[in-house]
Amino acid sequence: MASSIYNEFVELVNEAGLDLEDFQDITSYLLENGVICREDSQKEEKYYDNFLRLESIIKDYLNLININVVHDEDLLSIRLYAPGSDFPQSYLDDDIKSNMSMSLSSEESAYLIALAILYNQKFNEGQIEDDASVEVELEEFNTALASYLSYSANENKSVRDEALRTLRRLKVLNYAKGVFESEDAPLIIRPYIKQVILPDMLKPFLEKDEVNTTEHKDISNENE
C-alpha cells in the first residue's frame, strides 16, 4: 500500500516534467528558510519556476503537516505560514488551513513593526522605487522606533546586527554593511514586508501615536 502511494506520488511529479529530487529541493528549502523570492538568486529563480509546475502537489504535501503555502504571484514569491499566525487577507481562502509563524526576539519584532509603519507611510505618499521597495534613512528608522514603539535600538552592535540579519533572511529588508555606523547608508524595505506584517497589526501603534500627538497639541494650547 505504502509503496503504491509512493509510486503514484513520484508519477505525479514526473508528469510535471520533474523528478523527486526537484520536489525535495523546493520543500527542503522552504522548510529551512520559510520563503522563496524569484528575484533574489539563480537558485531561488529555479526553485520558484519548478514550484509553479508542482504547486498543487507541494501545497497538498505541506498541508498534511499543517503548513500553509502562500504564493504571491505579483511579487513572484512563496512563503510558508504555520498554525495560529495571521496571514494577508488578500489570501483568505476556504482552502487555507494554517500559516507559518515566526519566533522573533523583542529587538527583531520592534524593528519589523517600525519598518512596516515606515513602508506603509512611504507607500501611501508615493515614495516607492520601481521594484516597490522603499528607502528610509537611519534617523527615520530610529524616530519610528521611539515615537511608535517607545523603543530604541540596542547599544550592543552584535544584537543590532543579528536583528537586521534575521529580517534580511525574512526577505523584508536590505541594507549596507555597517548601516548603524553610517548615516549615509539607507535601509531598503522590501514589499515582501506586507506578507509578514498586516495592516491590523499596525493599528495599535498608530492609534497610540495619534493619542500622544493629540495630548501634545492640547498641552501646547493650554500653555498659550
pLDDT at 86 over 80: no
- Same domain? For 161 and 212 the reply is yes
Condensed to tens digits (0 to 9), the pLDDT of residues 69-78 reads: 899 999 999 9
Contacts of 144 (CB under 8 A, 6+ apart): 114, 115, 117, 118
Q: Identity (one letter) of the amino acid at 74?
A: D
Helix (H) or strand (E) holding 187: strand 187-189
pTM equals 0.76
52 assigned to some structural domain: yes
- Same domain? For 161 and 71 the reply is no
Domain boundary among 31, 64, 91: 91
- As for how many domains the chain has, the answer is 2
Condensed to tens digits (0 to 9), the pLDDT of residues 44-58 reads: 999 999 999 999 999
Alpha carbon distance 44, 49 (integer Å):
8
